[in-house]
Structure 1
Amino acid sequence: MTSGINTREMIMEILLQIDEEGEHSHIAIRNALSKYQFLPKQERAFITRVCEGTLEYRILIDYIIDSFSKIPVDKMKPPIREILRSAVYQLKFMDRVPDSAVCNEAVKLAQKKGFYNLKPFVNGVLRTVARQMDELEYPPREENLVRYLSVRYSMPEELVERWLNDYGEETTEKMLADFLEEKPVTVRCRTYLNSLDKICESLKNQGVKVEQAPYLPYAKRISGYNHILALDAFIQGKMVVQDVSSMLVAEIANPQKGDYVIDMCAAPGGKSLHIGDKMEGFGTVDARDISQYKVNLIEENIQRLNSINVQAKVQDATIFDVESECKADIVLADVPCSGYGVIGKKPEIKYRSTAQKEEELVILQRTILDKAAEYVKPRGVLVFSTCTIAKEENEENMMWFMNNHPFKLESIDEFIPEELRSETTGLGYLQMLPGVHGTDGFFIARFRRK
């Protein structure tokens, strides 16, 4: 590659960090790229695409490798495994790099990493894949639907099976397909203090493509820029990166000027700042999170947006804060969750889910909801939300909460656009699904204290 940096070695190291050390993909990629800021745009794009693609399609890639290799993927040495995975991704999904170059670079990298004796193995597997991949047979749909969907869409079988049970075949397949689609960046334009037209004009003047996002007039999708940190509208705090599903939380909370709002798990602060904007600078939003690191993220955003009615502080949501008892007009409990709704943006989530982790999450969520209930004034509002599509964390928690606390669900129809209204929104909750609603997977319920 032109810069003298071995981009394929960087890719291998990023993938090892994600797979072996459990780092989040967006953080591992960002850290690697910021270390080599001088890399040309084309090489940065290549590294990002191969890392993200290899991760997204890992189950399909492993199926291909296992079909042509004597040694199964899970028995390989980790560096060799990641070299082969990223090479197969390039062979299957990237036409711009010739097959021979992909194979040669992989063999050279294996040697550089000290696996001299495995050069013939790497070479043999990749050349066979390049020659015979198009003739490979995949699991037939009619014989085993779960296995077929798992390989076709690179989703672990246990998740496929669960969603088939919860949502049926058609919806499950729509979600699986959507997780693999490229996601445009969605931003909330701060129409409080700024004109929407001027924000869009500023973006277009910097060569950014601006499109309307679904449901909310101030939500836009942007693409075609190199770095968001270089956009004037971002620097000046006129827009915030936020998914539409998360913007709906503030709409459904429906704060009034002068309200006191507690956001219990607020980092990086998108919902808190949106509520602050909806109150037009009046009232107070108490944006809390568990660590100083997370509170710093909120504070950075408060400063960039110059938000005058949002304050951040360290507070563990699982520990009762006696000062806040019965004080809040609105409490937001956007609780930690399995994150299945954002697999399209953070693909490593799908490989890390376990039944035990989920059981622990449900206990954590209920602990936080217990505390949240205590902070709401009589007749006040509690908004409960997650970025998942797991019924145990959403509907089942909602029912548990109502059975154990003096709250009732309240219709959200007046706060949401007509096309989102349904039987469940009339009752007081909304489950958004990827591939169905054009947003992340997200759950929101609105309760009123009796």
Structure 2
Amino acid sequence: MTDSVNLRAVVLDILMEINEKGEFSHLLINNALTKYQYLDKNKRAFISRLSLGTIENRIELDYIIDQFSKTPVRKMKPLIRNICEMSVYQIIYMDNIPDSAVCNEAVKLATKRGFTGLKGFVNGVLRNIARNKDNITYPDRNKDIEQYLSVKYSMPLWIVKMWHSQLGIDRTEEILAGFKQEKKTYIRCNTAKAPVEEIKRILSQESVSVADVEGIPYALEIKDYDYIAGLKSFRDGLYQIQDISSMTAGYMTGFKAGDTVIDVCAAPGGKSVNAAISVGTDGKVYSRDVSDYKAGLIEENISRLGLNNIEVQVKDALVMDESMKEKADVVIADLPCSGLGVMGRKPDIRYNITEDKLVSLKELQQSILSVVQAYVKQGGIMMYSTCTINSEENEANADWLCKEYGFKKIEYRQILPGKNGGTDGFFVAKLRRE
């Protein structure tokens, strides 16, 4: 059965869905890995790496192809362009695969997909690149460092320019390099079910490597697992997968036993779960999102974890809930954002976000904040967070909230990928109502 699966064909289908239909990379790849979970670990890793790597490096790959092709990538048939991109990624980044095999498989793909007339073109371009891969040129770093970084790290030029303006060029390059670091997996231990040390012992029995995370006692880094949803410890609800940057936001909150918490844009529920474990059985978490589908994602998560102090509600964060005015000790507002901090895991974000969308997102964030701030009682805490790297969505919004609604800044923290080795970019503002 496994021999019948053409791994490159699977990747090509994923790329076509992402690039031509605008589907989300992380969902498509997860679906493929679930569908083909019977394949061995190395084959599934190939699907994941080639899909993500091709998307993540698309600007660079196109820049390389254009140096060796008489037909620019923008004029290629979409399927041929995707075959060329995924093949050049293998030639440049996957040294364990012979260049000849890459070229041959690309020609086979083009033929099987009905482009027999272009198989010579595909073969010629790829073999030319393979012969000359040590002579590929890039924009001159000394003459135009923004253009160089844009191509080298496959980041749209306007994003590079924005970060250069907001953060400086050194930090910008650090962020770009950070996105390419190996991604780590972190879990939030469900200490409502078992102590951290017990969870570590169980994971070790399942042959999972475990390491403590400095500064957050209930966080662990895990590796050397195959299919995490297949682990009994996962099915038993002993932990949830959560990036360390997101856990940092929860730890900063300083939940107290018995707190009332409202999580206003909660799906899939990671922060609600963290809050529920932290406030204990005497506390209460209202976990809200805008649709039945999103509420279902939260329900699924808390059911697996066995938490009884979370009430899931379908609520639009833009609509005032008069019954909850000044009732919350903590409001969690992890709001829709541009997602520029998670491009290491969701690389297609960079190609879909626009400058106009940044403006409209800031307006949406302020509209939501103007409503949900009313739920914070006097002396209570507002935790405003995003998974982006953009001062207009982050510090500017937090400053605006303080000015307009009488909150006091306690702490702002911008987590950057390059600073934290394989983590996401994240911003969190902890504010107190005076």
TM range (shorter): over 0.9
Contact 2:265 2:289 in 1 (8 A): yes
Write the mapping of 1:375-390 to structure 2, written as runs, cut at 5 A. 375-390=375-390
CA distance in 2, matches of 1:154, 1:257: 46
Contact 2:190 2:305 in 1 (8 A): no
Provide the secondary structure at the position in 2 that maps to 1:3: helix
Q: Which residue of 2 aligns with 1:430?
A: 413
Provide the secondary structure at the position in 1 that maps to 2:39: coil
Structure 1 residue 236, shift from structure 2 partner: 1.5
Structure 1 residue 211, shift from structure 2 partner: 2.1
**2:71 maps to 1:87:** no
Structure 1 residue 347, shift from structure 2 partner: 0.8
Between the two proteins, the alignment pairs up a number of residues equal to: 433
Q: Which residue of 1 aligns with 2:307?
A: 307
Alpha-carbon displacement from aligned partner over 1:24-75 (angstroms, at most 9, x marks no partner): 1111112223334433333222111110111111111111101101111111
Alpha-carbon displacement from aligned partner over 1:216-272 (angstroms, at most 9, x marks no partner): 132111111111112232122111111122112222222222221100011111111
TM-score when scaled to structure 2? Answer: 0.96
Contact 1:276 1:282 in 2 (8 A): no
Between stretches 319-328 and 332-341, larger displacement belongs to 319-328
What one-letter code is carried by the residue in structure 1 that aligns with 2:419?
V
Structure 1 residue 163, shift from structure 2 partner: 0.9
Alpha-carbon displacement from aligned partner over 1:169-204 (angstroms, at most 9, x marks no partner): 221111111101120111112234422222112112
Write the mapping of 1:23-34 to structure 2, written as runs, cut at 5 A. 23-34=23-34
Structure 1 residue 5, shift from structure 2 partner: 1.9
CA distance in 1, matches of 2:368, 2:98: 53
Q: Which residue of 2 aligns with 1:446?
A: 430
Q: Which residue of 2 aligns with 1:422?
A: none
Provide the secondary structure at the position in 2 that maps to 1:210: strand
Contact 1:64 1:133 in 2 (8 A): no
Q: Which residue of 2 aligns with 1:417?
A: none
CA distance in 2, matches of 1:44, 1:383: 38
**2:310 maps to 1:325:** no
What one-letter code is carried by the residue in structure 1 that aligns with 2:389?
I
Structure 1 residue 313, shift from structure 2 partner: 1.1
Write the mapping of 1:218-297 to structure 2, written as runs, cut at 5 A. 218-297=218-297
Q: Which residue of 1 aligns with 2:176?
A: 176
CA distance in 2, matches of 1:320, 1:339: 26
Structure 1 residue 127, shift from structure 2 partner: 0.5
Structure 1 residue 95, shift from structure 2 partner: 2.0
Q: Which residue of 1 aligns with 2:127?
A: 127
Aligned-residue identity in percent: 49
Q: Which residue of 1 aligns with 2:118?
A: 118
**2:353 maps to 1:370:** no
Q: Which residue of 2 aligns with 1:345?
A: 345
Alpha-carbon RMSD across the aligned residues, in angstroms, is 1.5
CA distance in 2, matches of 1:193, 1:303: 13
Structure 1 residue 396, shift from structure 2 partner: 0.8
Provide the secondary structure at the position in 2 that maps to 1:121: helix
Structure 1 residue 372, shift from structure 2 partner: 1.1
Residues 359/123 of structure 1: CA separation in 2 closer, same or farther (3 Å cut): same
Provide the secondary structure at the position in 2 that maps to 1:319: coil
What one-letter code is carried by the residue in structure 2 that aligns with 1:353?
I
Write the mapping of 1:31-50 to structure 2, written as runs, cut at 5 A. 31-50=31-50
CA distance in 2, matches of 1:327, 1:346: 36
Contact 2:216 2:251 in 1 (8 A): no
Q: Which residue of 2 aligns with 1:108?
A: 108
Residues 60/213 of structure 1: CA separation in 2 closer, same or farther (3 Å cut): farther
CA distance in 1, matches of 2:39, 2:325: 53
What one-letter code is carried by the residue in structure 2 that aligns with 1:89?
Y
Q: Which residue of 2 aligns with 1:99?
A: 99
Provide the secondary structure at the position in 2 that maps to 1:26: helix
CA distance in 1, matches of 2:101, 2:190: 47
Q: Which residue of 1 aligns with 2:393?
A: 393
Structure 1 residue 305, shift from structure 2 partner: 0.9
Structure 1 residue 2, shift from structure 2 partner: 5.6
Provide the secondary structure at the position in 2 that maps to 1:435: helix
Between stretches 26-35 and 273-282, larger displacement belongs to 26-35
Q: Which residue of 2 aligns with 1:67?
A: 67
Structure 1 residue 146, shift from structure 2 partner: 0.4
Alpha-carbon displacement from aligned partner over 1:327-382 (angstroms, at most 9, x marks no partner): 21211111111111111111111111101111110111001101111111222221
